[in-house]
């Protein structure tokens, strides 16, 4: 990877970790999930508001951890607002392949471009867990974290 591109990716990760998007609790969340990485202490709680059309109407997260885990959570929340659950699951699958250094061909070009900032973690297996914590927590929330009826 070119040094200037690597530096840009580092800047994006630092920006998302220092100024996370969608950070905080979400009143009226329809789904929540909590995740913890005991190896490094990263913690995240995901709040989802899913409408009657199975679309992510809103999302927020709370947590603390390393720059990679916080940036990944911020990037994820930014990317999935307005998408359907099916679209989110496809995006998550592509992201997981990407950070593991596998073929992420199912990602659309725009999604791939935004997520490429996290591709470098594939060289550091312990960091993959940091990058995927929020994504796995979001999946857990979708699968069973219902706390209220879906919104209109």
Domains delineated in the chain: 3-144 (3.90.1010.10)
Q: How many CB atoms lie within 10 A of CB 68?
A: 25
Which residue positions in the chain have pLDDT lower than 70? 1-9, 145-152
For residue 9, what pLDDT is reported?
Answer: 63
9, 23, 50, 52 from 55: Cα distances, Å: 29, 20, 5, 7
For residue 152, what pLDDT is reported?
Answer: 39
Q: How many CB atoms lie within 10 A of CB 32?
A: 19
Give the Cα separation of 92 and 69 in Å (integer): 15
Give the Cα separation of 59 and 78 in Å (integer): 8
Tell how far CA 107 is from the center of its chain: 15
Place of tokens 């471009």: 113
H or E element, residue 32? strand 31-37
For residue 148, what pLDDT is reported?
Answer: 42
pTM: 0.87
């Amino acid at each position: 990877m070119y040094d200037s591109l690597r530096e840009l990716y580092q800047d994006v990760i630092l920006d998302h970790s220092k100024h996370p998007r969608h950070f905080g609790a979400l009143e009226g969340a329809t789904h929540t999930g909590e995740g913890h990485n005991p190896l490094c202490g990263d913690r995240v709680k995901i709040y989802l508001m899913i409408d009657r059309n199975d679309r992510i109407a809103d999302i927020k997260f709370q947590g603390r951890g390393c720059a990679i885990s916080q940036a990944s959570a911020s990037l994820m929340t930014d990317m999935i607002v307005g998408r359907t659950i099916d679209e989110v699951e496809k995006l998550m699958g592509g992201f997981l392949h990407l950070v593991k250094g596998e073929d992420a061909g199912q990602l659309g070009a725009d999604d791939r471009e935004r997520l490429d900032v996290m591709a470098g973690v594939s060289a550091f297996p312990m960091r993959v867990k940091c990058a995927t914590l929020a994504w796995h927590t979001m999946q857990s929330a979708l699968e069973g974290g219902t706390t209220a009826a879906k919104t209109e």
